[in-house]
């Protein structure tokens, strides 16, 4: 029989954990280079891999030590009288990988301990490899689903797209699949965080619209319905962002939640105070801007970062309409920001139109934005009369057109595949 110390360098011998007492062979094992400690009950060690040695000198001790079904949490060699069938099943279920007679020679026991270590390591490697393959399939399935939804294609076409992208970029298919999923999640987070900016202004705009005395009862109910839907959208965005970020950017998201709570309280006031609501909306806007900035840093130079620019157009359009409405319904409201807001929107929109993603496939969406923008401009230029309705209608149509543009961008292959 080969000597354990001779066949294995001392530095590679794993620590030995004995329970409930050291076996009679312990002195010989230590002479062979094994280090050991004794515990009352075997458990996974906190200081790295080890091998367990469970010593049961008689059947009574064996029955007592196997009464539990809790896993040992490490590879274990059992020294005991021959276990019965039920005892053998219990020992195997708890993690015993080998049985030896209680009076086995120390050199044989040492080799068995090394065998248990190596056997467990190989089993764990196989399990990790199998789990890795399963994870790869999961990533691929998720990526295919996202592509099918975004592009309106079937499963075979989605898989071919992933495979061709992997070949063109000299990447592994699971890496491409993970990239698609992560990019899609980042795009959704950017869209939802950007929507919070827009909704902060939209909510005040709709509250101002409801206070316009010339609204008919049906128009007032419609404005209230839009306001309620916008508030629900803010709450839904917060919940989904928490899922997407998975505790990342927790401080930034918490600030957005706190700002929304203040605006929600202002909107719920029985005596509407537009000034208070506007101040609370500004806090929601600023906290959402911070979150968008952090997410944009994650996007870097990838095409997905363009979403932050496009979602900003929603904010600017709603802020323009809000300022115009406040000027109409709040005597003395400072409307000097309207001109600056117009210039800001035009500059931001020109930047989006010049971006690399502004290709032919997006032209119908851009055309709708152009038409809706002109409609809002006409409403802003009307002095009296139906100015409020025109501003509201123009801002609603522009918002719808921008939402469609964002949806088209999110379905863009260049954005998804990055």
Choose the most confident range, by mean pLDDT, from 41-45, 120-124, 371-375: 371-375
CATH topology of domain 4-124: Rossmann fold (3.40.50)
Exposure string of 53-89, with b = 16+ CB inside 10 Å and e = fewer, is bbbbeeeebbeebbeeeeebebbbbbbbbebeeebee
pLDDT digit string, tens, across residues 292-341: 999 999 888 777 888 888 899 999 999 998 988 888 888 778 777 788 88
62: region left, alpha or beta (phi > 0 left; psi from -120 to 50 alpha): alpha
Distance CA 310, CA 195 (A): 10
Six token digits for residue 241: 């962002």
Per-residue confidence band for 368, with pLDDT thresholds at 50, 70 and 90: very high
How many C-beta atoms lie closer than 10 Å to residue 200's C-beta?
32
- Which residues sit opposite 328 in a β-bridge? none
Per-residue confidence band for 270, with pLDDT thresholds at 50, 70 and 90: confident
Q: What mean pLDDT comes out for the span 49-59? A: 90
Q: With pLDDT > 70 as the criterion, what percentage of the chain qualifies?
A: 94
Contact 183, 362 (CB under 8 A): no
Per-residue confidence band for 66, with pLDDT thresholds at 50, 70 and 90: confident
Per-residue confidence (pLDDT) for residue 277, from 0 to 100:
95
Q: Which residue has the higher pLDDT, 291 or 272?
A: 291
Per-residue confidence (pLDDT) for residue 360, from 0 to 100:
65
The pTM is what? 0.69
Per-residue confidence (pLDDT) for residue 400, from 0 to 100:
95
Kindly report which listed range (243-252, 255-264, 401-410) carries the lowest average pLDDT score. Answer: 401-410
Distance, first Cα to last Cα, the chain: 61
Q: Exposed, middle or buried, 283 (CB in 10 Å: 0-12/13-18/19+)?
A: middle
Distance CA 347, CA 341 (A): 10
Exposure of 280 in the CB half-sphere (CA atoms within 13 A): 23
Q: Where are the domains of the chain?
A: 4-124, 173-417
Q: Is the pLDDT of residue 284 over 90?
A: yes
Per-residue confidence (pLDDT) for residue 357, from 0 to 100:
63
Per-residue confidence (pLDDT) for residue 10, from 0 to 100:
45
pLDDT digit string, tens, across residues 162-200: 999 888 888 898 899 998 899 889 989 999 999 999 999
pLDDT digit string, tens, across residues 116-170: 888 878 887 888 888 878 878 898 999 999 888 877 889 999 999 899 988 888 8
Q: Is the pLDDT of residue 390 over 70?
A: yes
Report the greatest alpha carbon distance in the chain.
Answer: 105
Find tokens 């803010």 and name the residue: 234
pLDDT digit string, tens, across residues 207-231: 999 988 888 999 999 999 999 999 9
């Amino acid at each position: 029989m080969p000597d354990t110390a001779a066949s294995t360098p001392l530095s590679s011998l794993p620590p030995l954990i004995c329970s409930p007492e050291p076996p009679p062979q312990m002195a010989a094992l230590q002479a062979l280079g094994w280090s050991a400690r004794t515990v009352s009950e075997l458990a996974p060690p906190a200081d790295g891999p080890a091998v367990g040695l469970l010593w049961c000198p008689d059947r009574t001790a064996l029955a007592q030590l196997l009464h539990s079904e809790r896993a040992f949490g490490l590879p274990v060699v059992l020294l005991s009288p021959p276990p019965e069938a039920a005892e053998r099943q219990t020992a195997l279920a708890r993690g015993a990988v080998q049985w030896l007679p209680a009076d086995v020679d120390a050199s044989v026991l040492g080799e068995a301990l090394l065998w248990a270590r190596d056997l467990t390591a190989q089993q764990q490697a196989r399990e990790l490899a199998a789990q890795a393959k399963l994870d790869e399939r999961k990533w691929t399935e998720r990526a295919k689903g996202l592509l099918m939804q975004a592009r309106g294609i079937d499963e075979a076409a989605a898989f071919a797209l992933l495979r061709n992208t992997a070949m063109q970029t000299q990447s592994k298919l699971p890496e491409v699949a993970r990239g698609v999923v992560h990019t899609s999640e980042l795009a959704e987070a950017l869209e939802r965080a950007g929507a919070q900016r827009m909704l902060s202004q939209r909510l005040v705009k709709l509250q101002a619209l409801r206070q316009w005395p010339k609204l008919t009862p049906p128009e007032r109910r419609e404005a209230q319905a839009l306001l309620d839907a916008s508030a629900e959208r803010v709450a839904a965005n917060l919940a989904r962002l928490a899922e997407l970020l998975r505790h990342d950017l927790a401080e930034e998201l918490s600030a957005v939640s706190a700002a929304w709570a203040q605006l929600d309280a202002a909107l719920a006031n029985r005596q509407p105070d537009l000034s208070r609501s506007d101040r609370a909306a500004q806090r929601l806007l600023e906290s959402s801007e911070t979150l968008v900035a952090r997410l944009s840093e994650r996007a870097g130079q990838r095409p997905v970062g363009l979403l932050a620019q496009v979602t900003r157009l929603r904010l600017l359009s709603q802020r323009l309409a809000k300022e115009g409405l406040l000027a109409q319904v709040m005597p003395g409201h400072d409307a000097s920001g309207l001109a600056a807001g117009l210039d800001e929107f035009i500059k931001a929109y020109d930047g989006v139109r010049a971006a690399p993603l502004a290709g032919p496939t997006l032209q119908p969406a851009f055309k709708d934005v152009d038409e809706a923008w002109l409609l809002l401009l006409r409403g802003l230029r009307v002095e009296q009369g139906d100015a409020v309705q025109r501003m509201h209608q123009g801002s609603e149509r522009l918002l719808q057109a921008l939402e469609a543009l964002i949806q088209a961008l999110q379905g863009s292959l260049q954005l998804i595949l990055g």
